[in-house]
């Protein structure tokens, strides 16, 4: 493995601890990533030196905070190759970003009989807002089927997306099945029918290069906490022409131009979507996380994660009692691996793995329709990131074998 990545673990202070007297192996990165010391220090530095409200004060601290906040917006713009920084809206996270789109663009552009197309692999954050919008508007919610190995069925997508379709909302990377969807092709299909393409990028942005212009995304949402940044900060990218036509999502301070007794006018984008006091420290922390990831190189991160999958997936598949969901080819599978151990509930398995210092996720992963589609109640999930190593994989496999022996499965 790349020696540079073997040293990265040292940058994450939380990993320098033992869990149940075992070395901590953190494999719950699809839920949230750990934070490097550089990001922690940046957040502390802001609060110790520059804490002030942005865009409101002419004093030195206010000007510093505003400059750093807007500099973070510029870092996000360059990181995902948005055309301009005005297309970057800071939110609370992916969920907030997707609700913003559904509550503004969706509310204003969906009518009775219109179609909204999603897939069976969607996280609840990219399903429930559209489900509830369809109920309110008497629109039709359609699901794209999956192939036998858990990939998006592109032939079915061609059939489901029609001239009645107004929105196509798809995850870039599944948080359960370990697949990367052909978002560029999906956008092409959507645009042929004059539908907008909404992308849940929460599991993609941390692990691979993302170019929203190359993808031709109309909206793209992601969270800071899954990419080394703090919790409570997220991003919505939207094309300028779409954002300009949309009404504000929330009302209050800073999103206005003029307020009169009986009517108001709104600030320009992106500020009309950033009502109230923003998570300035979160945005600055996200900017520092972007600096950290950029120094490593997103393609290098993607390549490293692929090597971990090539090492881990065959080892899991070689355990007869293990069922892995999603493609069984490492080339088609990213660093999210969901699995079950025959005869043992995923929660019991996760508890057993924790006794050996291995942290994995267990449950429905906010994807209950997908669980029903797979005919399972829940799964265990191991998800890798830049500070994981082959030693972590070995400890995972050892812990699974240990659980098998303990529960006699």
Domain with CATH 3.90.1150.10 in the chain: 3-31+297-407
Whether 200 contacts 169, CB under 8 Å: yes
CATH fold, domain 41-295, is: 3.40.640
CATH number of 3-31+297-407: 3.90.1150.10
Chain centroid to CA 249: how far?
21
Residues 235-255 as b or e (16 or more Cβ within 10 Å = b) = bbbbbeebbeebebbeeeebb
pLDDT score at 1: 57
Q: Bridge-partner residues for 16, per DSSP? A: none
pLDDT in tens, 70-113: 999 999 999 999 999 999 999 999 999 999 999 999 999 999 99
Radius of gyration of the chain (CA): 22
366 in active site: yes
- What distance in Å separates the CA atoms of residue 117 and residue 165, rounded to the nearest whole number? 7
Does 288 have pLDDT greater than 60?
A: yes
In DSSP notation, 99-151 reads HHHIIIIIHHH--TT-EEEEETT--GGGTHHHHHHHHHHT-EEEEE-B-TTS-
Backbone angles phi, psi at 289, to 5 degrees: -60, -40
Pinpoint the residues of the chain covered by CATH 3.40.640.10.
41-295
Question: What is the overall mean pLDDT for the chain?
Answer: 96
Q: How far is residue 190's CA from residue 193's CA, in Å, rounded to a whole number?
A: 5
Q: Cα dihedral angle (336, 341, 347, 350), rounded to 10 degrees?
A: -60
Question: Checking DSSP bridges between strand 115-119 and strand 140-144, what pairing results, if any?
Answer: parallel
Cβ neighbours, 10 Å, residue 108: 11
Question: Is-contact 146 180, C-beta < 8 A?
Answer: no
Non-local (6+) Cβ contacts of 121 within 8 A are 146, 150, 152, 171, 174, 176, 177, 179, 367, 370
Instruction: State the pTM of this model.
Output: 0.97
- Over residues 185-218, the pLDDT tens digits come to 999 999 999 999 999 999 999 999 999 999 999 9
Return contacts of 129-135, CB within 8 angstroms, 24+ apart. Answer: 129/98, 129/99, 129/101, 129/102, 129/103, 130/102, 130/106, 130/167, 130/169, 132/102, 133/102, 133/103, 133/106, 133/107, 134/110
| 19's tokens | 């869990």
At 407, the pLDDT band (50, 70, 90 cuts) reads confident
Contact 13, 385 (CB under 8 A): no
pLDDT in tens, 297-328: 999 999 999 999 999 999 999 999 999 999 99
Question: Does residue 19 surpass a pLDDT of 60?
Answer: yes
Q: Give the per-residue pLDDT at 50.
A: 95
3-state class of 5 per DSSP? helix
Residue of 296, 317, 366, 397 marked active site: 366
């Amino acid at each position: 493995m790349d020696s540079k990545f073997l040293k990265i673990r040292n940058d994450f202070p939380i990993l320098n601890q033992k869990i149940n007297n075992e070395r901590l192996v953190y494999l719950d990165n699809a839920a949230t990533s750990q934070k490097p010391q550089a990001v922690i220090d940046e957040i502390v530095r802001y609060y110790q030196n520059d804490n002030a409200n942005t865009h409101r004060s002419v004093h030195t601290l206010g000007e510093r905070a505003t400059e750093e906040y807007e500099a973070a917006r510029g870092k996000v713009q360059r990181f995902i190759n948005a055309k301009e920084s005005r297309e970057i809206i800071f939110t609370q996270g992916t969920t907030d970003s997707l609700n913003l789109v559904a509550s503004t663009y969706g509310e204003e552009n969906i009518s009775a009989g219109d179609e909204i197309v999603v897939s069976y692999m969607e996280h609840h954050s990219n399903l429930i807002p559209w489900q509830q919008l369809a109920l309110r508007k008497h629109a039709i919610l359609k699901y794209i089927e999956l192939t036998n190995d858990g990939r998006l069925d592109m032939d079915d997508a061609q059939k489901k997306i029609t001239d009645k379709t107004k929105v196509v909302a798809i995850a870039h990377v599944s948080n359960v099945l370990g697949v990367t969807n052909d978002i560029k092709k999906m956008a092409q299909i959507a645009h042929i029918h004059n539908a907008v393409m909404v992308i849940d990028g929460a599991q993609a942005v941390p692990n691979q290069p993302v170019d929203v212009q190359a993808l031709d995304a109309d909206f793209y949402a992601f969270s800071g906490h899954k990419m080394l940044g703090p919790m409570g900060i997220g991003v919505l990218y939207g094309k300028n022409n779409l954002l300009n036509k949309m009404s504000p999502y929330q009302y209050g301070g800073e999103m206005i131009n003029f307020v009169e007794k009986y009517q108001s006018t709104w600030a320009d984008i992106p500020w009309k979507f950033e009502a109230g006091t923003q998570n300035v420290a979160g945005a600055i922390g996200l900017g520092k996380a972007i600096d950290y990831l950029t120094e490593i190189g997103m393609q290098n991160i993607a390549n490293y994660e692929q090597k971990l999958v090539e090492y881990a997936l065959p080892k899991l598949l070689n355990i007869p009692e293990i069922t892995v969901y999603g493609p069984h080819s490492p080339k088609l599978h990213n660093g999210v691996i969901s699995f079950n151990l025959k005869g043992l509930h995923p929660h019991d398995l996760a508890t057993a793995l924790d006794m050996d210092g291995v942290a994995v996720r267990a449950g429905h992963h906010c994807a209950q329709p997908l669980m029903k589609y797979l005919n399972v109640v829940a799964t265990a999930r191991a998800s890798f990131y830049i500070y994981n190593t082959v030693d972590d994989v070995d400890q995972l496999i050892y812990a699974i074998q240990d659980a098998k022996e303990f529960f006699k499965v």
